[in-house]
Amino acid sequence: MSQPNVMFSYFILMMSAFITIADGYYCYIMDECLYSSHDLSDMVYLQSYWFNMVMDIQYNSTLGKFVGLTEYGEHVVEGWNRNLNFIQQMQAQVDTYCKPNAQFLETALRDKAVQPKVMLRSVKRAQGKHPAMLMCSVYDFYPEQIKVSWLRDGEPVASDVTSILEMADGDWYYQIHSELEYTPRSGEKISCVVDHASFNKPMIVDWDPSLPESERNKIVIGASGLVLGIVIAAAGLIYYKKKSTGRILVPH
């Protein structure tokens, strides 16, 4: 599933007010605070008006006005948007309602957050016209809200990225995987960026294309075997010297 081009939200603060109307009809108002950055600089405040499961009106702080989503909603927002005092009060909700509650929530969650483990590996090498593929796997983190993105030479990658939703491990922890298809270029730098409540700033893991993964594994195995051989040889030499201590050589 392709990663949707929408705002990622670490947390969504919501408050709803239900109003029951005669003959079984009802409406409700929902307040939402959406953000993804630790400094809350991208905070967005939404207020939605629903009637019988249909959203008629929504205020969006990024637009600074109400938007009518139905014929009735369009008629209502004409008057609301002309009321400048009302619009200013709505815009102020970003600082008076959203940010204080988000700061409280982040503090509470950060005390219980568990930092993820990140592994970046190649799953497919480039062959002819077929692109290469990298996978960024993120394991054992809590809470589940997390953002995984890619950088190529310091620039965000918006296309050729496939991510799955967060999956529960069954032990209170979560995992997520993201894949990037790309055509390798000489001297380029590709990085996986992981942003989570347990970090003060996003973790950046750089891909090292200097050796294929299979070759790196061979080097690691070979180096381990060499070290083990040296240890065994040294142990044998020490044992031999201890056995030789105290012996008297008698000439024949």
Task: Write the pLDDT tens digit of every residue in 37-70.
Answer: 778 888 999 999 998 889 999 999 999 999 999 9
Cis omega (within 30 of 0) for bond into 209: no
Confidence of residue 3 (pLDDT cuts 50, 70, 90): very low
**What CATH number has the domain spanning 117-206?**
2.60.40.10
Residue 48: the pLDDT is 93
Q: Which fold has domain 11-110?
A: 3.10.320
Domain boundaries, the chain: 11-110, 117-206
Confidence of residue 133 (pLDDT cuts 50, 70, 90): very high
CA distance 141 to 198: 9
CA distance 217 to 230: 20
CA distance 240 to 238: 5
Q: What's the burial of 136, exposed, middle or buried (CB within 10 Å: 0-12/13-18/19+)?
A: buried
Residue 221: the pLDDT is 61
Decide if pLDDT at 223 tops 60. no
Residue 109: the pLDDT is 67
Outline where the chain has alpha helix (H).
Answer: 71-82, 84-93, 99-110, 213-244
Fold agreement between 11-110 and 117-206: no
Residue 11: the pLDDT is 43
Decide if pLDDT at 224 tops 80. no
The model's pTM is 0.50
